[in-house]
Structure 1
């Protein structure tokens, strides 16, 4: 469709183009068409009104007009013909909002989907295409080709290699967790990406990136430490490689959050060895948990033994 339009994808507001290019006849029935139209309008609202790259002025009349058009179209299906006045107004207003810049000039690039966090959510949904729909724990054979296609959206979504690494890390880790933690290759791949994220974090000063990485790594660290602080309950002789990977992810996550993100960290490696401190804490905690569990079992057995002896 982009070829037929003869326009660069970064210069258009895709939901508006989709609304005009696709007709009711392209859908199985009118109900599905109207549902699709509402979804497009919601995406447009999210990109230009709720999560714009450039914050909106509360007195911006264009934003107010767009809200009214979207509100009306959500109640009654929008006529999308080229000569329809409402559609013409929607196109004009959406483009004017999408082409705003921080210095007041008009941009040739349309910013309708690169506001945080909408851009990350859309990108994560695209990355899900790397998985087999028939086997949710498996990555498709064509994963490299799919990733190359997904990366073509960077110019529209405002993405870069660092954000890609962080998003893909989360997708792999989350997929491992929600599918029952049975496919270790997903965890190993996530750990490899976490190593790349560690390199990225050293060079990144963007505050939005810091928020994203703190949230992502905080979740990963919490999950990992729940297992490592009582690792006798989670790891055995048949999954030591998984344990090594979880330790690596916990230490890397903590290191990035403390050393590369926190502005309060000023101590050198000689003053504190973060990895050694973390691992030592995991060992001590797990031993305490194991001791308490063993003690409880011992006293339970002794109690049952005494009860049977008195009968």
Structure 2
């Protein structure tokens, strides 16, 4: 092969190896079409990331602003009264002479594990009239103080619930006859008297129960009387007036024990007056109460045997 022939063959070979213009243009177009898709995906990814970061930042801000309120526990109003008076000293000697003549004025103090929360005292008397029989009287005063608690509410709310329960219990006494209920004015924040007859082997007992609430303290006065061995049955209207007088005096004693100033003496008028100023708020704990300290009417009636 001549030199000229070899040069022409090499030239054709180089020409055959050059890229075809049509095919290159196709690859360029494909690359150009892919590029916008990649840019769009990158933009979407960028927007999504910034949105997630914004949501996370907003969530952290909301949590931070809510955390103080979430960590702070709601508080309840402190109870008004922090202590109770001595139960055997809530009534004056004059009142005791009217309600339980011939009784020991010192009374019989009820058992209690904490006298600042729960206290009671009772008196009884038997007035002998010779062949005409005798007059029996029994009086019990109980006091129950409630403290404000996070789970149970304020002392006043708990005292109100217990007040209602005491009234209901008196109204549903087993064996009670001629039951009557009446509101009592000028005695604490609320007061109710329940009266009924209770037949016992010794005679008919006239029972009066006066339940009164003053702030976070509930006062319950149980008072009954009977004519024994042929003596006449006492007047129930008179007995309930005396029981209401005792309740008003006991309520006033609760106020005085906690430093309240009274405008008048309820032992003279038979009703309690409004307090001029409240006592210092009690520091409340987690005391628990489990019911009334006053005995049942059947217990009081049975005391006539003694």
Please indicate the TM-score interval, normalised by the length of the shorter structure. under 0.3
Q: If the length of structure 2 is used for normalisation, what is the TM-score? A: 0.21
Tell which structure's C-alpha radius of gyration is larger. 2
Q: If the length of structure 1 is used for normalisation, what is the TM-score? A: 0.20
Give the number of the structure whose residues are more often strand, by fraction: 2
Larger RCO (alpha carbons 8 Å, 6+ apart): 2
Give the number of the structure whose residues are more often helix, by fraction: 1
